[in-house]
Amino acid sequence: MTRKRQKIGALNKEHAQHRVELKGWVQRRRDLGGLIFIDLRDRSGVVQIVFNPKVSEESLKVAESVRSEYVLHIEGEVVERDKSTTNPNMQTGEIEIQVDRVDILNEAKNPPFLIQDDTDVAEDIRLKYRYLDLRREPLQQTFKLRHQTTQAIRNYLNEEEFLEMETPMLTKSTPEGARDYLVPSRVHPGEFYALPQSPQLFKQLLMISGFEKYYQFARCFRDEDLRADRQPEFTQIDIETSFMTSDDIIEMTEEMMQKVMKDVKGMKIELPFRRMRYDEAMERFGSDKPDTRFGLELVTVSDVVNESDFKVFRDAISNGGKVSAINVKGKASQFSRKDLDTLTDFTKVYGAKGLAWLKVEDGELKGPIAKFFNEQVSSSLKSRLHAEDGDVLLFVADKIKVVHESLGALRLKLGKELGMIDNEKFDFLWITDWPLFEYDEQLNDYSAAHHPFTMPVEEDIDKLDENPGEVRAQAYDLVLNGYELGGGSLRIYKKEIQDKMFKVLGFSKEEAEDQFGFLLEALEYGAPPHGGIALGVDRFVMLLSGRSNLRDTILFPKTASASCLLTEAPGKVGEAQLEELNLQINKQKKG
Amino acid sequence: MTRKRQKIGALNKEHAQHRVELKGWVQRRRDLGGLIFIDLRDRSGVVQIVFNPKVSEESLKVAESVRSEYVLHIEGEVVERDKSTTNPNMQTGEIEIQVDRVDILNEAKNPPFLIQDDTDVAEDIRLKYRYLDLRREPLQQTFKLRHQTTQAIRNYLNEEEFLEMETPMLTKSTPEGARDYLVPSRVHPGEFYALPQSPQLFKQLLMISGFEKYYQFARCFRDEDLRADRQPEFTQIDIETSFMTSDDIIEMTEEMMQKVMKDVKGMKIELPFRRMRYDEAMERFGSDKPDTRFGLELVTVSDVVNESDFKVFRDAISNGGKVSAINVKGKASQFSRKDLDTLTDFTKVYGAKGLAWLKVEDGELKGPIAKFFNEQVSSSLKSRLHAEDGDVLLFVADKIKVVHESLGALRLKLGKELGMIDNEKFDFLWITDWPLFEYDEQLNDYSAAHHPFTMPVEEDIDKLDENPGEVRAQAYDLVLNGYELGGGSLRIYKKEIQDKMFKVLGFSKEEAEDQFGFLLEALEYGAPPHGGIALGVDRFVMLLSGRSNLRDTILFPKTASASCLLTEAPGKVGEAQLEELNLQINKQKKG
């Protein structure tokens, strides 16, 4: 019976004098004084096995041919090591196995990189040999943690009587948000399915179907240009409920997070999480996903500096912009003029025209722009910014969006560089009171801030026709340590509101009907009030496991050009396959 | 706090005199003697609510406007019904709610069909309004059962220390088995991803990665012409393990099934399941997925009838074919000549040239062909078939494949029509000792009976070069009530065997390298012995819930032409989208 195998990692002194049978990989081999020592590894851990000619001449002979990553099946006796040879860095370091029987189950070529915790091997090599990369302990641990995380979420939701349900992958292409991945239909030539960007409409249909509580670990697809923290396919825990309020959904999500933190990290986190209005988050942190593990907040000083003689500041304000500042406490002496120039260049990436600065010395503001501030303004400014001797004050005066984005990014950069962030901390935060629409000045039109199915705040519904920009959404995002974990909302469940929503978004009646007719029709057959949330599993696992790369949390990730270096997908397909799909590849471009 | 809502189905006499707040759908409304009675439904059940002018004039007024499938929010008092008005067919039939407050949460148009247990509405209407169809109790129950089934499987596998892991959906197109669904790449013009037919290679790579125990509820895609029990996308519970034997995997699967049957059906099933060799299944049941809930077995009589004077039988045998028979016990009088002609026509669909028959009367064989059988042959035949007075014997003489398929199908048809099948029974069966290859006479080549990664039986490996047709696979299929639930095998983990396998299958070295190079390479870096199994979840749920249509187990299924009648997928996409993908639709065909 091989099913209940002895786990290598579970071996200890209590097994001394017992015979064991082990299967695993050769982590490393050392030859020493006529003996061969091998570290044998399985999923559970590593143990030292010893080949001794006095125990088995034959086994030693086999061991001589063994190399790293060979797969072995051994038998032998567990013996306690001498005190002098125990290895405290190894879980099984107090024992070793005297091998008397060995089979080589499989051989291994010399691997292109060592299977060890730390590696500086180029990522493309690691991705090409992903099956070797995945043998490394930190990745093994990450995927165990991923398993624990999803099971903790499941256990919570099952306990709350949610049903896990599967929605289709071959769906209809709709122009919401990002670009769809398309799948040509063979049976219907010239037509296409789309892979889902999220199961949004299906989960709403499930509420209309009366299931009341749905969840799914949903694979989602977006054909976007990839950044470091994006993948063409990703997984979200997708939740939808009927008859719940925003507060209900928020409370439930908090309990779920509390359970995950307890089950996976052994941490007790306090409920409820803090909540912050979107406007406040932008003003204080310059971000809709603020990292609240440290201060260094943005402070609006428009009203104060508007009294100064500094034209640059006053012009920014009179042009509809604002002036905000960050007070870097006690660091004045650390910032040379060159350092400050570097920070100025950094803010320019975010569109800022410049970064002004002041230092506080002997109770006075110092620096090139200090002369524009009379005593009264200086005093107000110090008071507003809680500025004291040794502080350095950093200002951006610009359009509101630019001020927030540039100072928000600068805040994060300084927080990291000045070591102000506690990496052991998990700081959850809700962002609430989102606007329903985003306004694009150049295109002069509105787009949905979340998605077109988000319910407006009841008392703002009347403004949909005249002042859509002022309509708030019944939406909430969950932020963890400066990352958006996900978000949700109540959904529109009345056809007339959904009709209005599409109108504001610039859909003609025909377009709305053509693309979302089935939803509009479903809303007319007894749709319950409903809402939900979706959280990014890959990103959550990244934060829980303390990794910095989303690719470390996905077993077989794609590169920034959406390729799999292991299988070499995507790839060419045969002419016959294209013929069947009634498709041709355009000649002008080359793959 | 609306989160912990009162469940309608949980209301009973113990709630009498309590106030309750309920939300749900109007199942039906009756007006009677100035009162209005409504059956209010939520996920958990149905309760009668009463609008009485003496309780609330205002509520009664609202109730007058209410129609079927309206969504209501009511408050009122639970009252015990008179003995005379209790409804024993209703879980909550001993009580009703006296409503004193009502809100219409949403209205509903008159639904295109009634939301009731039984419906004879055409399936295309039900699929177009799937969200209404899903409100019906039998479908609600099916998806609850589906949830319970997947959780039972998960709980078992978690207990066994499996890790749930996610493999990619955007993968490489490989020509194994069925047709791939393709996904054009925008970043790599002219190249395509494929949606996985199964995660076969990825789960093998996970074993090579050292994870040892993997599972996934995997969405799989096959662009095949659909039959009643096929869908373009389906879900399988996909399991892979390292270092286990076939017997280990079989035993583990049995324990898992036992747990599902206990958790979901409250049934204790006996272990181990029966095992049957592939050859025996074909010979005795004419099928590799026999329904073993009833007898009516096929019996080979070639040796007996070869001694007869019936040339048709003897020719079939001398041409390499065989003769088999089914004895339909005691039914001779029920089969008229016309009935037997109908059965003959039925077998012709399966390629049989005819169906011969004999009846047993007064110890003698009777019928048109009886004259060809002398006393000795008759006696042997009766003995072989345990034939007695009143029995009817049905013969097919043909190529082996035709005999098995036609009599196998006839057996199933007769079993059903004669009421021989116990529908309450769950009869699990393993089919073992599969051939590794199937031989196609017309193409004169071998294809993989399961897939090209199946491990041959050790002692047959030498035959790979000379006699591939004789090589047995280390494979096992699990059959339930005549349906293939799924199957598995040990996998090839040595490169030299995989190379040989591809050679038998007609791959050139270059083709093998081009399509499966990454696997062949991975096998060289310390691949452990591994194997697994995959079971069809949709089909399993269909059998567990006693439904006859696979579409009833999938929330949003596709039709036989792979369309979604609700969302109208697949559909046309814009020129710009095609342009970005560098594709053109051929003009000659029409969608």
Ordered mean pLDDT values, 10 residues apiece, chain B (591 residues) = 83 96 97 96 97 97 97 97 90 96 98 89 96 97 98 98 98 83 95 96 98 98 82 97 97 98 97 97 98 97 96 96 97 94 96 96 95 96 97 97 98 97 96 93 86 96 93 98 97 97 94 95 98 98 94 96 96 90 79 44
**Which residues does chain A have within 8 Å of residue B170's beta carbon, measured at their own beta carbons?**
181, 221, 232-233, 558, 562, 564, 569-570
Q: Find where tokens 């002069």 sit.
A: A444
Q: What is the 3-state secondary structure (H, E, C) of B510-565?
A: HHHHHHHHHHHHHCCECCCCEEEEEEEHHHHHHHHCCCCCHHHHCCCCCCCCCCEC
**Which residues does chain B have within 8 Å of residue A173's beta carbon, measured at their own beta carbons?**
569, 571, 573, 577
- Read off the tokens for B7: 């469940």
Mean pLDDT for A120-147 is 96
CB contact under 8 A, A571 and B70: no
Q: Is the same domain home to B133 and B258?
A: yes
Instruction: Please say which residue of A384, A417, A450 terminates a domain.
Output: A417
pLDDT at res. B4:
81
- Read off the tokens for B309: 């004077």
Which residues are CB-contacts of B569 (< 8 A; sequence separation ≥ 6)? A168, A170, A171, A172, A173, A193, A194, B563
Pairing of strands A95-106, B192-194: unpaired
Question: For residue range A74-124, what is the model confidence (pLDDT) as tens digits?
Answer: 999 999 999 888 998 889 999 999 999 999 999 999 999 999 888 889 999
Q: Is the same domain home to B143 and B98?
A: no
Q: What CATH number should be reported for the domain holding residue A21?
A: 2.40.50.140
- Is B514 among the domain residues? no
Nearest chain B Cα distance for residue A476, angstroms: 17
H/E stretch holding A152 reads helix A137-159
Question: Given B170, B188, B570, which is nearest A193 (Cβ)?
Answer: B570
- Is B461 among the domain residues? no
Q: What is the 3-state secondary structure (H, E, C) of A46-115?
A: EEEEEECCCCCHHHHHHHHCCCCCCEEEEEEEEEECCHHHCCCCCCCCCEEEEEEEEEEEECECCCCCCC
Find the residue in B nearest to A73 (Cα).
B243
Query: Which segments of B are annotated as binding site?
Result: 176, 222-224, 231, 450, 484, 491, 536-539
Residue B225 DSSP class = -
CB contact under 8 A, B166 and A493: no
The domain in which residue B217 lies consists of 116-270+529-586
Under a CB-based contact definition with an 8 Å cutoff, are residues A80 and A16 in contact?
Answer: yes
CB contact under 8 A, A529 and B581: no
H/E stretch holding B258 reads helix B246-265
- Read off the tokens for B211: 């994870």
Nearest chain A Cα distance for residue B300, angstroms: 38
Mutation site, A131, A159, A514, interface B, largest B CB count within 10 A: A131
pLDDT at res. B225:
82
Instruction: Please say which residue of A395, A417, A439 terminates a domain.
Output: A417
By three-state DSSP, how is residue B172 classified?
A: coil
Q: Is the same domain home to B325 and B300?
A: yes
Residue A539 assigned ligand-binding role: yes
Q: Is the same domain home to B251 and B163?
A: yes
Question: Given A221, A252, A562, which is nearest B3 (Cβ)?
Answer: A252
**Which residues does chain B have within 8 Å of residue A3's beta carbon, measured at their own beta carbons?**
244, 248, 251-252
Question: For residue range A296-339, what is the model confidence (pLDDT) as tens digits?
Answer: 999 999 999 999 999 999 999 999 999 999 999 999 999 999 99
Nearest-angstrom CA–CA distance, B48 and B44 = 14
Which residues are CB-contacts of B486 (< 8 A; sequence separation ≥ 6)? B236, B237, B477, B478, B533, B534, B535, B536
Helices (H), B335-452: 337-348, 375-385, 400-417
Mean pLDDT for A575-587 is 89
pLDDT at res. B2:
60
pLDDT at res. B588:
61
- Read off the tokens for A351: 């569109």
Q: What CATH number should be reported for the domain holding residue B144?
A: 3.30.930.10
Q: Is the same domain home to B98 and B121?
A: no
Helices (H), A169-299: 200-208, 246-265, 278-285
Nearest chain A Cα distance for residue B219, angstroms: 8
Question: For residue range A247-295, what is the model confidence (pLDDT) as tens digits?
Answer: 999 999 999 999 999 999 999 999 999 999 999 999 999 999 999 999 9
Angle ∠(A130,A135,A141) on CA atoms, nearest 5 = 110
pLDDT at res. A230:
85
pLDDT at res. B176:
61
More confident call, A450 vs A99: A99
CB contact under 8 A, A154 and B158: no
Question: Given B210, B243, B582, which is nearest A134 (Cβ)?
Answer: B210
Q: Is the same domain home to B358 and B402?
A: yes
By three-state DSSP, how is residue B304 classified?
A: helix
- Read off the tokens for A386: 């809680």
- Read off the tokens for A492: 């529109």
Nearest chain A Cα distance for residue B186, angstroms: 8
- Is B480 among the domain residues? no
- Is B389 among the domain residues? yes
Instruction: Please say which residue of A80, A106, A132 terminates a domain.
Output: A106
Per-residue pLDDT band at A486 (split at 50, 70, 90): very high
CB contact under 8 A, A150 and B164: yes
Q: Is the same domain home to B171 and B226?
A: yes
CB contact under 8 A, B577 and A180: yes
Nearest-angstrom CA–CA distance, B163 and B165 = 6
Mutation site, B139, B187, B233, B540, interface A, largest A CB count within 10 A: B187
pLDDT at res. A117:
87
Nearest chain A Cα distance for residue B171, angstroms: 6
- What are the φ and ψ backbone dihedral angles of B314, each rounded to 5 degrees? -65, -35
Q: Is the same domain home to B85 and B192?
A: no
Nearest chain A Cα distance for residue B480, angstroms: 24
pLDDT at res. A591:
44
Mean pLDDT for A371-380 is 96
pLDDT at res. A2:
60
**Which residues does chain B have within 8 Å of residue A190's beta carbon, measured at their own beta carbons?**
572, 585, 589-591
- Compute the count of residue pairs across chains A and B with CB atoms less than 8 Å apart: 367
Per-residue pLDDT band at A443 (split at 50, 70, 90): confident
Quote the radius of gyration of chain B (alpha carbons, Å): 30
Q: Is the same domain home to B207 and B189?
A: yes
- Is B67 among the domain residues? yes
Q: Is the same domain home to B260 and B305?
A: no
Q: Is the same domain home to B195 and B264?
A: yes
Mean pLDDT for A198-206 is 97
CB contact under 8 A, A219 and B571: no
**pTM reported for the whole predicted model:** 0.95
Helices (H), A209-327: 246-265, 278-285, 302-305, 311-318
Report how far apart, in Å, the C-alpha atoms of B364 and of each of B367, B387, B390, B411 are: 10, 10, 10, 24
- Read off the tokens for B510: 């270059």
pLDDT at res. B591:
44
pLDDT at res. A442:
80
Nearest-angstrom CA–CA distance, A441 and A450 = 18
Q: Is the same domain home to B147 and B71?
A: no
Q: Could you give the number of structural domains in chain A? A: 2
Distance of CA B562 to the CA centre of its chain: 18
pLDDT at res. A390:
96
Average pLDDT, chain A: 95
* Reported ipTM exceeds the 0.90 cut: yes
- Read off the tokens for A315: 């012009």
Which residues are CB-contacts of B28 (< 8 A; sequence separation ≥ 6)? B38, B39, B68
Nearest-angstrom CA–CA distance, A139 and A135 = 7
Pairing of strands A163-164, A213-221: parallel
- Is B44 among the domain residues? yes
- Is A32 among the domain residues? yes
Under a CB-based contact definition with an 8 Å cutoff, are residues B373 and B356 in contact?
Answer: no
Residue A223 assigned ligand-binding role: yes
CB contact under 8 A, A171 and B590: no
CB contact under 8 A, A130 and B209: yes
Q: What CATH number should be reported for the domain holding residue A401?
A: 3.30.1360.30
- Is B428 among the domain residues? no
Nearest alpha-carbon partner for A243 in B26, B5, B107: B5
Nearest chain B Cα distance for residue A181, angstroms: 7
Handedness of CA B561, B562, B568, B571 (dihedral sign): negative
CB contact under 8 A, A567 and B165: no
**Which residues does chain B have within 8 Å of residue A210's beta carbon, measured at their own beta carbons?**
25, 41-43, 134-135, 140
Which residues are CB-contacts of B530 (< 8 A; sequence separation ≥ 6)? B204, B207, B208, B240, B241, B242, B243, B244, B490, B491, B493
Which residues are CB-contacts of B405 (< 8 A; sequence separation ≥ 6)? B286, B350, B351
